[in-house]
Amino acid sequence: MSCYKTLLLDAAVLPLQDTKMDHQSILIIAAHPDDIDFRSSGSAALWTRQGRRVAYVVATSGEKGFNGNGKLSIEERQAIREGEQRAAAAAAGVEQVHFLKHPDGELANTPELRRDLVRVMRQVKPDLIVSGDPSLDAYDSFYGYHSDHRAIAQATFDALYPAVGNENFFPELLKEGLEPHRPKEAYFSGRGATLNVWVDIAETFEAKLRALACHKSQIADIKEIEPRLREWSREMGKEKGLACAECYRRLEIPD
């Protein structure tokens, strides 16, 4: 699906508190190509510049997020959007993008989706997982509360505990050589009073723009939306005196 209007509409005034982040391996999860770039590509670019390993998981390949491209097959649309997402990842210094290939617009918090998430988590062995926030339920924006966004946020939360660290979940993964792994923390991106992590993206905002500009099938001209992106980032950082920020709700993952 096409998501860029979502996050622009969801720009909000946000509260406070900083964190020191010492995780070396980070996995960022979203439903569609471009979701990560709107929410977290400034953070991803900062973390890769700091020498941390960052990988992306994109659950669908966004084949329904096209207007007026009826002549393209599903496979062609998937290939376009996957290519855009890979280029966008590269703009943030991210080399690994895992596409789960679930049908766009039909994502559901099923055992299959949780298994596929657990598989990548056990392959990548991240300390930190970044995703959308399953606790948000305002339903004040059709874009923001798209069913795929709700489903991937819930499935990620459920995969994190206890499935990824418990060998009795998805025993078929053991046969693939994938042992249980426990990430230490989750950052849920969103808005509202529960946010407690501010990432200063002043030095990577340009990389974020370059990443978003890669989604050519979604964003005809990055210059057109750049002022709103700047304003959104400024609003996010305002309470902490940051010119540009991406924000999250941090949650420790129990052993």
In the complex, minimum distance from the CB of residue 51 to Zn ion, in angstroms, rounded to a whole number: 29
Task: Indicate the residue among 10 and 116 with the shorter CB distance to Zn ion.
Answer: 10
| Region of 211 on the Ramachandran plot (φ > 0 left; ψ -120 to 50 alpha; else beta) | alpha
Task: Indicate the residue among 125 and 228 with the shorter CB distance to Zn ion.
Answer: 228
Give the whole-angstrom CA distance, residue 201 versus residue 15: 17
Task: Indicate the residue among 32 and 98 with the shorter CB distance to Zn ion.
Answer: 32
Task: Indicate the residue among 18 and 142 with the shorter CB distance to Zn ion.
Answer: 142
In the complex, minimum distance from the CB of residue 61 to Zn ion, in angstroms, rounded to a whole number: 12
Task: Indicate the residue among 35 and 37 with the shorter CB distance to Zn ion.
Answer: 35
Q: DSSP assignment of 36-95, as one string?
A: HHHHHHHHHHHHHHTT-EEEEEEEE--TT--SS-TTS-HHHHHHHHHHHHHHHHHHTT--
Give, in degrees to the nearest 5, the angle at Cα 245 between 244 and 250. Answer: 170
Whether 194 contacts 248, CB under 8 Å: no
In the complex, minimum distance from the CB of residue 10 to Zn ion, in angstroms, rounded to a whole number: 12
Site residues (CB under 5 A) for Zn ion?
3, 31-32, 35
Closest CA to 112 of 124, 104, 101: 101
Residue whose beta carbon is closest to Zn ion: 3
Give the whole-angstrom CA distance, residue 22 versus residue 43: 13
State which amino acid sits at residue 8: L
In the complex, minimum distance from the CB of residue 151 to Zn ion, in angstroms, rounded to a whole number: 11
Task: Indicate the residue among 3 and 213 with the shorter CB distance to Zn ion.
Answer: 3
In the complex, minimum distance from the CB of residue 97 to Zn ion, in angstroms, rounded to a whole number: 15
Give the whole-angstrom CA distance, residue 230 versus residue 237: 11
In the complex, minimum distance from the CB of residue 148 to Zn ion, in angstroms, rounded to a whole number: 6
Beta-carbon count within 10 A of 199 CB: 25
